[in-house]
Chains A and B, each alone.
Chain A
Amino acid sequence: DIVMTQSPLSLSVTPGQPASISCKSSQSLLHSDGKTYLYWYLQKPGQSPRLLIYEVSRRLSGVPDRFSGGGSGTDFTLRISRVEAEDLGVYFCMQGINVPRTFGPGTRVDLK
């Protein structure tokens, strides 16, 4: 199974400041079709996870452009250029190249 790790596991941020979360996979997520199957989700309290980023860096329609994803192979990063109060919650990365699908442990983001 592909192991997904995230750091930090907790992040206190000041509104308007940037934030960054790292996700690493134990195997490359680059598929032979040329796509890299790494996703980022945000789960707000009491809600289902919501997809923000797919294939490393593609923002889902409607996701604010302050969210960006980057990386390749086994190392990935989610960046928020200026954190807003509505961005608080738990961020998960997930790999979609192999079964079983596996998730990172989550990074809890709250306000400083």
Chain B
Amino acid sequence: EEQLVESGGDLVQPGRSLRLSCTASGFTFGDFAMSWVRQAPGKGLEWVGFIKSKAYGGTTDYAASVKGRFTISRDDSKSIAYLQMSSLKSEDTGLYYCTREPTVWGQGTMVTVSS
């Protein structure tokens, strides 16, 4: 079964950093681009960014709202994608999903940015 499991969500103060992990199983992780999507409480879905597979250069792209603050990386040997978040703001609060677009989604990990 193809599965994604996110971890690392926490309560953090504004301005601090946090790293989320997404562990994949059931498919050849290195063959796929991986994305992060977030959902503020009671709100819709917002694409955060993605990282292409190494075969496509492993390049990244980000939403304007997080560009320069968030970094996506991957470790294909461990089948893990990471979302490094820095200079966190209250508006970054939400449930963060890892996805293998468009089909496979994790259950999400909650990030709360508050003092």
Q: Which A residues lie at the B interface, using CB under 8 A?
A: 39, 48-51, 54, 60, 92, 94, 96, 99-106
Contacts and interface: CB of A to CB of B under 8 A. Distances in A.
B105 interface: yes
5 contacts: A39-B102, A50-B105, A99-B50, A102-B47, A103-B44
Contacts of A105: 44
Interface of B: 35, 37, 44-47, 49-50, 61-64, 97, 101-103, 105-108
Contact of B46 (A49, A50, A96, A103): A103
A71 to B, nearest CB: 17
B5 to A, nearest CB: 11
A14 to B, nearest CB: 26
Nearest to A101: B47
B100 to A, nearest CB: 11
A94 B61 contact: no
A52 to B, nearest CB: 10
A106 B45 CA distance: 9
Contacts of B101: 96, 101
